[in-house]
Amino acid sequence: MSVPILKYGIDDTSRVFGRTQLGNSEYISAVNEIIENVKNRKDEALFEYALKFDRQKIDKDNVLVSDSEIEEAYSKVDKALVESIRKAKAGILDYHSRQKVKFSNEFFKSGASGESTLGWIYRPLARVGLYVPGGKASYPSTVLMTALPAIAAGVDEVIVATPNINNPAILVACKECGIKKIYKIGGAQAVAAMAYGTQSVPRVDLIAGPGNVFVTLAKKQVFGHVAIDMIAGPSEILIIADESADAKLLASDLLSQAEHDEQAASILVTISEDLAKKVQKELDRQTALLERKDIISKSLETNGAIIVAKDIEEAIMIADEVAPEHLEVCTENAGEVAMKLSNAGAIFVGNFSPEPLGDYFAGPSHVLPTSGSARYSSVLSVDTFMKKISYIEYAKQDLLSCADDIIAIAESEGFGAHANTIKLRKAEYGDKEKI
């Protein structure tokens, strides 16, 4: 079935808008049960679920990947792939290390006397847990794209949970990133273990990384007890293109997302009807040649669309409304168009910046907001693993100068104890004649 060509404002484009990350309420009760079991029974429940869901018999003695298993993984991975992982690591770490520069402690003088000090202090999180999924594909790149921002931030301990220990590239990527603890656990039970801690798995401060619906819902359920990076939904791409773009390349970029899974969304917004028709034909032609054509076909049939906009301004408006995870700009003056866009997880500018470049190598993390959440959230980065602490150091005279204002506001809210602690200082250190 060909991807439909739709005219914006005329045809029904509902398949493009209103995607949700949490539309699987039927799984919530099962996820809650798993979380409660692991929270209360800890290792015992964790190991039972590993056997039930992942068919892995693990216990306290083998839940961690051993040094010998790491060595075996290296023996199974092509040396050229190891070198590619190392090159990717260098670029990703360099990119995120540059972000760390902005996280400097700052202080400035304040108050009427100019002797009070305000400011902020940045601190990295102490321990974070990264989830690396199994499923229909294996993702050593997810290790790089989650671990390296945390390492650049200065996180003391980074642990990994993955059910996919049979993929040696994942273990190699962990080792290359310096991760010392890799747990052979997956699913909602892994999220619960990292959120609450068990005898074998330490409690973390933040859980990051993508996963299936059970992992996603589990992250949502434990949020508040532990921080999370984001609620990630199916992968998606939107491309803005004009007559200057190559239909063959556009189709290949759309297919690079459609092959993730059946729920992935691939959307082209173009101002050229002729280009729309060419891309439609290319999608059919290229899909038939690809190994994951069954997944791709289902994805395109359900969530694929080509939208014809009247001009670039309307195309930009559509893109900002969709707020896609990946947004490619393949137009003349692509850089200028990109700077007019507001809502996207990552923007890929020009014909030589295809989305897979960001997935594997360029530097920014590929863990991005999906399902329209790019309207208000950001890519996983050093920021994800840092916290800001306010610094307040008031001089005596400056506190006394604003004491009456604090007392007035506190008493208006009915908080007498708040007001009293200020009154006591005023009585002790203020002008006694004015009290």
- Local confidence band at 21 (pLDDT 50, 70, 90 cut-offs): low
3 state DSSP class of 194: helix
For 99-108, the CB contacts below 8 A with 24+ separation are 99/149, 99/152, 99/381, 99/382, 99/383, 100/152, 100/153, 100/154, 100/382, 103/153, 103/382, 103/386, 105/391, 107/391
Q: What is the DSSP string of 360-429?
A: HTSSS-S----TTGGGT----SGGGGEEEEEEEE--HHHHHHHHHHHHHHHHHTT-HHHHHHHHHHHHHH
Q: Which member of 236, 326, 355, 366 is catalytic?
A: 326
* Sequence letter at residue 375: R
> Poorest-confidence range of 134-138, 251-255, 367-371?
134-138
Residues 307-356: tens digit of each pLDDT: 999 999 999 999 999 999 999 999 999 999 999 999 999 999 999 999 99
Residues 231-256: tens digit of each pLDDT: 888 889 999 999 999 999 999 999 99
Q: How far apart are CA 316 and CA 329, in angstroms?
A: 10
**pLDDT of 119 higher than 50:** yes
Which class for 252: exposed (0-12), middle (13-18), buried (19 or more C-beta within 10 A)? middle
Reduced DSSP (H G I as helix, E B as strand, rest coil) percent helix, strand, coil of the chain, to 5: 45, 15, 35
Which carries the bigger pLDDT value, residue 233 or residue 46? 46
Kindly list the distances between the CA atom of residue 371 and the CA atoms of 49, 83, 261, in Å, as whole numbers in the listed order.
30, 34, 15
- Local confidence band at 433 (pLDDT 50, 70, 90 cut-offs): very low
Q: What is the mean pLDDT of the chain?
A: 93
Residue ranges with strand state E in 162-304: 181-183, 206-208, 227-228, 236-241, 265-270
Which class for 236: exposed (0-12), middle (13-18), buried (19 or more C-beta within 10 A)? buried
pLDDT (0 to 100) of residue 242: 96
| Cβ atoms within 10 Å of 377's Cβ, excluding its own | 16
Alpha helices by DSSP H, 17-167? 28-41, 43-54, 67-76, 79-100, 140-153
**pLDDT of 432 higher than 70:** no
Kindly state the average pLDDT of the residues 263-273: 94
pLDDT (0 to 100) of residue 1: 56
Active site residue 260: no
**pLDDT of 435 higher than 80:** no
**pLDDT of 368 higher than 80:** yes
pLDDT (0 to 100) of residue 364: 95
Active site residue 176: no
Q: What are phi and psi of 57, to 5 degrees?
A: -95, 100
Query: Are 242 and 271 in contact, with CB atoms under 8 Å apart?
Result: yes
pLDDT (0 to 100) of residue 174: 97
**R_g (Cα) of the chain, nearest Å:** 26
* Sequence letter at residue 135: G
Tokens 């060595």 -> residue: 71
The kind and range of the H/E element at 7 are strand 5-7
**pLDDT of 434 higher than 50:** no
Residues 395-417: tens digit of each pLDDT: 999 999 999 999 999 999 999 99
Q: What are phi and psi of 123, to 5 degrees?
A: -140, 135
pLDDT (0 to 100) of residue 233: 82
**pLDDT of 276 higher than 90:** yes
Q: Compute the Cα dihedral for 192, 195, 197, 203 and give only its sign.
A: positive
Kindly list the distances between the CA atom of residue 289 and the CA atoms of 121, 255, 259, 294, in Å, as whole numbers in the listed order.
54, 11, 12, 11
Given its phi and psi angles, is residue 323 left (phi above 0), alpha (psi -120 to 50 degrees) or beta? left
Q: What are phi and psi of 376, to 5 degrees?
A: -140, 0
- Local confidence band at 12 (pLDDT 50, 70, 90 cut-offs): confident
Residue (of 234, 137, 131) closest to 192 by Cα position: 131
- Local confidence band at 52 (pLDDT 50, 70, 90 cut-offs): very high
CA dihedral 334, 340, 343, 346 (to 10 degrees): 30
Q: Which member of 176, 259, 325, 328 is catalytic?
A: 325
Please state, for a pLDDT cut of 70, what percent of the chain lies above it: 96
Residue (of 232, 184, 239) closest to 211 by Cα position: 232
pLDDT (0 to 100) of residue 24: 63
